[in-house]
Amino acid sequence: MKTEDLTAIGLTKEQVDSVFKLHGQEVNELNAQVSTLTAERDGYQSQVEDVTTKLNDAKAAAGNNEELTAQLQQLQSDLDSAKQEAENRVSQTKVDYELKLALKENGALNDKAVSALLDHDVIKLDKEGKITGLSEQIEAVKAENPFLFETQADPVKPKIVNGGNPNPNPGGSGKALADYTYKELSDLKSNNPTEYQALLGGN
């Protein structure tokens, strides 16, 4: 969801800010987790590189001492494993972050239920740090299990009565502007312009 997408369907700057404020609150915690783990990984990696340099020097000094050489090699292996574990933690946090955003953008009603239907083994980060194997799975789950996702309600048809035509949807959906996704706002504008204008405050 981009600013230009929201302004394209008639939202004012204040309304766009309101939408993004709520959205930002939900992702800030995950962003903080990613930043913290990335900083920890970078700091740990620096330490590993320093220790590795010292280990290489020690290996050279060990010469033909097989027992000492074996101990140094084991230590090197342990360091490599710890480094890989740190990398995996950062990657998994980023994957979890992207998954949460994707579920929100697609209107999942129950994150755990939808997540359980996904093959997490194929959801990965590529070399450029972009998520792969996720969007197509969500689309497939949505097609097979539409009840797990928000759907745009059919517009209420006005009832013609004597004395005029009342407001076709006096109660509205009850949702605040910031609770709508871009797709929901776009659908509402197309399917129920009266409610859409009421949501925007009559603008």
**Could you give the CA distance from residue 123 to residue 96 in angstroms, rounded to a whole number?**
10
pLDDT of residue 141: 93
Q: What is the pLDDT of residue 135?
A: 93
Instruction: Check whether 134 has a pLDDT greater than 50.
Output: yes
Q: Is a pLDDT exceeding 60 seen at residue 157?
A: no
**Those residues with Cβ within 8 angstroms of residue 2's Cβ, 6 or more apart along the chain or in another chain:** none
Q: How does DSSP assign 73-108, residue by residue?
A: HHHHHHHHHHHHHHHHHHHHHHHHHHHHHHHHHTTB
Average pLDDT, the chain: 76
Examine the pLDDT at 139 and tell me if it is beyond 90.
Answer: yes
Predicted confidence at residue 121, as pLDDT, reads 92
Q: Please, are residues 59 and 69 in contact by the beta-carbon 8 Å criterion?
A: yes
Which span out of 61-75, 95-109, 181-195 was modeled with the highest average pLDDT? 95-109
3-state secondary structure of 124: strand
Is 163 a residue whose pLDDT tops 60? no
pTM, rounded to two decimals: 0.47
CA nearest neighbour of 150 among 189, 110, 121: 110
The Cα 193–Cα 180 span in angstroms is 15
Residue 124, beta-bridge partner list: 132
User: Average of pLDDT values for 92-113?
Assistant: 89
Helices (H) and strands (E) in the chain, counts: 7, 2
pLDDT digits (tens, 9 = 90+) for 3-19: 666 666 666 777 767 76
